[in-house]
Chains A and B, each alone.
Chain A
Amino acid sequence: MSFATINDDILRTLRPPGALYYAGLALALVALSIGVLAFLYQARTGMGVAGYEHPILWGVYITNFVFWVGIAHSGTLISAVLFLFRATWRTAVARAAEAMTVIAVATAGLFPIIHIGRPWFFYWLIPYPNERGLWVNFRSPLVWDLFAIGTYLTVSVMFLYLGLLPDIAAARDTITDWRRRVYRVLSLGWLGTDRQWRHYMALYGFFAALATPLVVSVHSVVSWDFAMSILPGWHSTIFAPYFVAGAIFSGLAMVITLLVPMRRIFKLESYITVHHFENLAKLMLMTSLIVSYAYVVEFFIAWYSGSPFEQGTFYDRMFGQYWAYSWTMFTCNVGVPLLLFSKAIRTNLRALFVISIFVNIGMWLERYVIIVSSLSHDFDPANWSGVYSPTWVEAAITLGAFGLFFTLFLLFVKNFPAISITEMKETMAQSTKADRGAWPDPV
């Protein structure tokens, strides 16, 4: 394999795709349209159509928010953390994972807006004084969220763009259709001079170093939306690490869900190999074990606390109205990933794809169980009888979010190199250094 082959093979993904791609895109667009229509209906009619009922005033929308922020995390793990650890296998999957991060955070960011009821006032969250000179409350985790998610989205976009810069330049110099003009603008006039590479590499390292603590802080802050309250089931010090591990776990599952079809549609089998999937599966297994441990600790602490309220909430979670959700969650997040201990399963892409779907479902349910079952078992026993179940509007908007996510991802991989050309060449250059012959004679 040579530099030119890598260039051609990866830029081939920008050429007109096959029917499978268009079928996927059409499906995603239909899902997105359903979501948009449901949202318009909700905006016109009011939040009553969302099935929120006292005391459960956070439901599917906040579940979706936490789920999508979580999905984003593995992208940063792969692109930043594994970069710092010099895990070269990440090269083939990092770009897709980074793109997934940006798209997932953007999708997540829509949910607080959908949830607030009057979405046209979403800008009230931005810290500026209102007409009476009153500022936002910086002690509120919801304001922390704005800063955390805003920073995460901005840094992720810049990180993705920085990595793309030389690749867009490569596309500019190869592609001949109308997109060439777009690439010319987006490449910012990149030439690949020694000066540019020098600053590029320095900044890339810094971005990785900045994104690593950032990713840990973001889901910690999201977890504090819950943990800072005094509601039994939420008020727990384990929430931050528990959420971060869960986020990476679910994100890795989503990376597998996306990469298995992407590899087939764009015929990238020689770049994204079974070895890459096996490594992703190992990471997924490890994070699954951390999440399983967190589940055990959560229940242990509830019991050990001696607080009847805490114990009641957790008993209710397992055997109350929401038992089916909880047990499905345990099965998907604790039981099914154990199959990954088998190498035969880790290297079987079909099996991995199916397991990743189970994990996606399980992790969505985890957020649902944490949010809904804790709220339903609040401070007043009179509230405990009602059962919250999502309405068709919430289901449609959730479907729409998946539609948006897949639409944006499919558009991205079709218009930008889905694998980092530069990093693939770099990895190749490093691995074949020994075969490249002796150092040339001085001139």
Chain B
Amino acid sequence: MKILGIYDRSTKAAVCAGTILDKGLGDVVTYSPVPDHALDRALRVTVSPVRLFVLIGGLIGCATGFIFPIYTVLDWPLITGGKPLISIPPFVVIAFELTILFAAVGGMAGFLLLSRLPRMTGRPAPDTRFTNNLTGVSVTCAPNQVAEVRAMLERSGASEIRE
């Protein structure tokens, strides 16, 4: 069963979400128009693994930035300007740019993957006001706990409750 509580203040939503989680009444998903630290604390949000995607992307980019130019100069060895074939300083520029490029692309891919986006089909947002000014707490709970969750949403000051 899903119950949705709609709040005009995110702190009220945070208190409710935290309590529901503490009591183990069900799974909580919150909706908010802005990132909210009160909600993060209530949901005990940990550090996002996006950073791993950024790190791995950056490392691959850096390696590519060196390996690719080195491969090309060895593939057709042509000395220009009397410089060594494998001239590291100019390749640092390529490696630097590719580090950033791959890190950013990796981060973006990680963000989309972890946030389960794009999400073109499926149900729409439970309420369009969540991108505007309201905060929502959606609780998935067992049928026998609905009454308790509903009471909690009411007590915490939800302006609207939907099942």
Residue of A139, A143, A166 near B80 (CB, 8 A) is A139
- Interface centre among A3, A155, A174, A217, by most chain B C-beta atoms within 10 angstroms, is A3
| Nearest chain B CB to A209 CB, angstrom units | 9
* Inter-chain contact A3/B132, CB cutoff 8 Å: yes
Closest Cβ neighbor of A425 among chain B residues: B34
Cβ proximity bits A268-293 to B, threshold 8 Å, 1 near / 0 not = 00000000000000000000000000
* Inter-chain contact A201/B35, CB cutoff 8 Å: yes
Q: Which of A169-223 contact B (CB under 8 A)?
A: 169-170, 172-174, 185, 188-203, 206-207, 210, 213-214, 217, 221
* Inter-chain contact A200/B104, CB cutoff 8 Å: no
A137 at the interface (CB under 8 A from B): yes
* Inter-chain contact B157/A440, CB cutoff 8 Å: yes
* Inter-chain contact B43/A202, CB cutoff 8 Å: no
Chain B residue contacts of A217, Cβ below 8 A: 93, 96-97, 100
A322 at the interface (CB under 8 A from B): no
A19 at the interface (CB under 8 A from B): no
Closest Cβ neighbor of A185 among chain B residues: B120
* Inter-chain contact B128/A173, CB cutoff 8 Å: yes
- How many Å lie between the Cα of A139 and that of B91 in the bound state? 7
| Nearest chain A CB to B31 CB, angstrom units | 5
| Nearest chain B CB to A8 CB, angstrom units | 9
Residue of B32, B75, B98 near A147 (CB, 8 A) is B98
| Nearest chain A CB to B92 CB, angstrom units | 10
Cβ proximity bits A129-159 to B, threshold 8 Å, 1 near / 0 not = 1000111111100011001101100110011
- How many Å lie between the Cα of A213 and that of B51 in the bound state? 17
A33 at the interface (CB under 8 A from B): no
Count of inter-chain pairs, beta carbons less than 8 A: 204
- Interface centre among B73, B76, B104, B131, by most chain A C-beta atoms within 10 angstroms, is B131
* Inter-chain contact B125/A198, CB cutoff 8 Å: no
Chain B residue contacts of A3, Cβ below 8 A: 33-34, 132-133
Chain A residue contacts of B12, Cβ below 8 A: 440
- How many Å lie between the Cα of A189 and that of B123 in the bound state? 10
Cβ proximity bits B72-110 to A, threshold 8 Å, 1 near / 0 not = 110110101101000100110110111011011101101
* Inter-chain contact A200/B35, CB cutoff 8 Å: yes
Residue of A144, A162, A169, A425 near B93 (CB, 8 A) is A144
B119 at the interface (CB under 8 A from A): yes
A236 at the interface (CB under 8 A from B): no
A23 at the interface (CB under 8 A from B): no
Q: How many residues of A contact B (CB 8 A)?
A: 64
Chain A residue contacts of B111, Cβ below 8 A: 162, 199-200, 202-203
* Inter-chain contact A195/B115, CB cutoff 8 Å: yes
A443 at the interface (CB under 8 A from B): yes
B139 at the interface (CB under 8 A from A): no
Q: Which of B26-56 contact A (CB under 8 A)?
A: 29-36, 39-40, 43, 45, 47-48, 50-51, 54
Instruction: Report whether over half of chain A's contact residues are helix, strand or loop; otherwise say mixed.
Output: helix
Chain B residue contacts of A139, Cβ below 8 A: 80-81, 83, 87, 90
Residue of B43, B69, B100 near A155 (CB, 8 A) is B100
* Inter-chain contact A135/B76, CB cutoff 8 Å: yes
* Inter-chain contact B75/A158, CB cutoff 8 Å: no
| Nearest chain A CB to B60 CB, angstrom units | 14
- How many Å lie between the Cα of A203 and that of B116 in the bound state? 14
B19 at the interface (CB under 8 A from A): yes
- How many Å lie between the Cα of A189 and that of B122 in the bound state? 9
A429 at the interface (CB under 8 A from B): yes
* Inter-chain contact A194/B100, CB cutoff 8 Å: no
With A7-B132, A135-B75, A138-B90 in contact, do A203 and B119 touch (Cβ < 8 Å)? no
Residue of B11, B76, B156 near A133 (CB, 8 A) is B76
With A138-B73, A443-B152 in contact, do A192 and B45 touch (Cβ < 8 Å)? no
* Inter-chain contact B157/A192, CB cutoff 8 Å: no
* Inter-chain contact A206/B51, CB cutoff 8 Å: yes
* Inter-chain contact B96/A199, CB cutoff 8 Å: no
Cβ proximity bits B129-154 to A, threshold 8 Å, 1 near / 0 not = 11111000000000000000000100
With A7-B133, A185-B120, A197-B36 in contact, do A206 and B54 touch (Cβ < 8 Å)? yes
Chain A residue contacts of B118, Cβ below 8 A: 188-189
* Inter-chain contact B40/A158, CB cutoff 8 Å: no
| Nearest chain B CB to A329 CB, angstrom units | 29
- How many Å lie between the Cα of A169 and that of B11 in the bound state? 23
Chain B residue contacts of A203, Cβ below 8 A: 48, 50, 54, 107-108, 110-111
* Inter-chain contact B50/A199, CB cutoff 8 Å: yes
With A189-B118, A194-B39 in contact, do A426 and B107 touch (Cβ < 8 Å)? no
Extra contacts, 9 of them, besides A201-B35, A201-B48, A443-B15 (Cβ < 8 A), are A158-B104, A158-B108, A199-B110, A199-B115, A206-B50, A210-B54, A210-B104, A221-B93, A440-B156
Residues of A within 8 A of B (CB): 2-4, 7, 127, 129, 133-139, 143-144, 147-148, 150-151, 154-155, 158-159, 162, 166, 169-170, 172-174, 185, 188-203, 206-207, 210, 213-214, 217, 221, 422, 425-426, 429, 436, 439-443
Q: List 29 A-B contacts (CB under 8 A).
A: A3-B34, A3-B133, A127-B68, A138-B90, A139-B80, A139-B90, A147-B97, A172-B131, A173-B128, A173-B131, A173-B132, A189-B117, A190-B117, A191-B31, A192-B31, A194-B30, A194-B43, A195-B115, A198-B48, A199-B110, A200-B111, A200-B115, A202-B51, A206-B54, A206-B103, A206-B104, A217-B97, A426-B34, A440-B156
